[in-house]
Chain A
Amino acid sequence: MGLFDAIDVAGSGLTAERLRMDVTAENLANAQTTRAAGGGAYHRKQVVLQQAGGPAFSNVLSGALGGVRAVDAARGVEVGAIVEDASATRRVYDPGHPDADPQGYVEMPNVNPVTEMVDLIGASRSYEANVTAMQSAKQMFTKTLELLR
């Protein structure tokens, strides 16, 4: 444990939030895509975040032996998975579209631009929060170094 760890933890937050922003941007860019890589309309993607690093062995052992289960060391956040949103795609009547079915309906992605914009702002704010945390840790370390002067 040390101050540099705090910087690493904030860094993991930056990485995770940046990826979240990338995925949201991909969703927005593909809001009208009717031909996804797997065929059919594009399905919006979601990032699942999880706490980084598994529980420490010593903590699990002391918990299993009936002792006090200590809190695991802070290791930041990581992206657990990128999952597809399984909700139904939209059906839009557009007979002139090349991907329209015989009835004239086109299967459009289940991307709602408003939801994506809100996610984008959320990721951006979280990114800023992590930058602030990193700056605080840096300030603390600088102050400590000044002791040596």
Chain B
Amino acid sequence: MSLFDSTQLALESALRGASMRQELLTNNLANANTPGYQRQDLDFHSALRAAQASGQDPTTIAFQATADPARTVRADGSGLDPDQEAATLAKNTLEYQALVQVMGARTTIMQIAMGVR
């Protein structure tokens, strides 16, 4: 067994996905007033789940952003709802922080096992 088990690797991958998603959501919010803009999102949960089901190394997942062209909610052709975007952004921030917290806890456990702490 290696020092970093599959949970640790999955955590790393989830962190990568969450930070990519954060950037996309920020970009959506920055383009709130751009006519014809289609929102972009990243479903890193599904990608991670699929990788775990197929036994793929989670660190090798190439996350792909997807555009959301079907939804048009405004007269200027933009499919963006700023309120919803801000809520998703807040959710993603919390999720990222939760992931970091878990990662920190696991690091502490390992440090205790190694007698560093």
Interface of A toward B, CB cutoff 8 Å: 1-3, 5-6, 9-10, 12-13, 16-17, 20, 48-51, 70-71, 74-77, 122-123, 125-126, 129-130, 132-134, 136-137, 139-140, 143-144, 146-147
Contact = CB atoms under 8 A, between A and B. Distances in A.
Interface of B is mostly: helix
A119 B31 CA distance: 16
Nearest to A74: B27
A77 B32 CA distance: 9
Nearest to B98: A143
Contact of A76 (B30, B101, B104): B30
Interface of B: 19-20, 22-27, 29-35, 37, 40, 64-67, 82, 85-86, 89-90, 92-93, 96-97, 100-101, 103-104, 107
A2 B22 contact: no
A63 to B, nearest CB: 12
Nearest to B104: A147
B94 to A, nearest CB: 9
B23 A5 contact: yes
Given A1-B20, A6-B19, A140-B22, A12 B30 contact: yes
5 contacts: A50-B34, A74-B26, A77-B31, A129-B32, A133-B89
Given A6-B26, A74-B24, A140-B19, A51 B34 contact: yes
A76 B33 CA distance: 12
Given A9-B27, A75-B27, A76-B31, 17 more contacts: A1-B20, A3-B19, A6-B26, A9-B26, A9-B30, A13-B29, A13-B31, A48-B35, A49-B35, A77-B31, A126-B82, A133-B25, A136-B92, A144-B100, A146-B100, A146-B104, A147-B100
Contacts of B82: 125-126, 129
A81 B9 CA distance: 46
B40 A132 contact: no
Nearest to A147: B104
Nearest to A138: B93
Contacts of B20: 1
Contacts of A5: 23
B22 A137 contact: yes
The 5 closest A-B pairs by CB, nearest first: A13-B30, A74-B27, A71-B65, A136-B93, A6-B23
B29 to A, nearest CB: 5
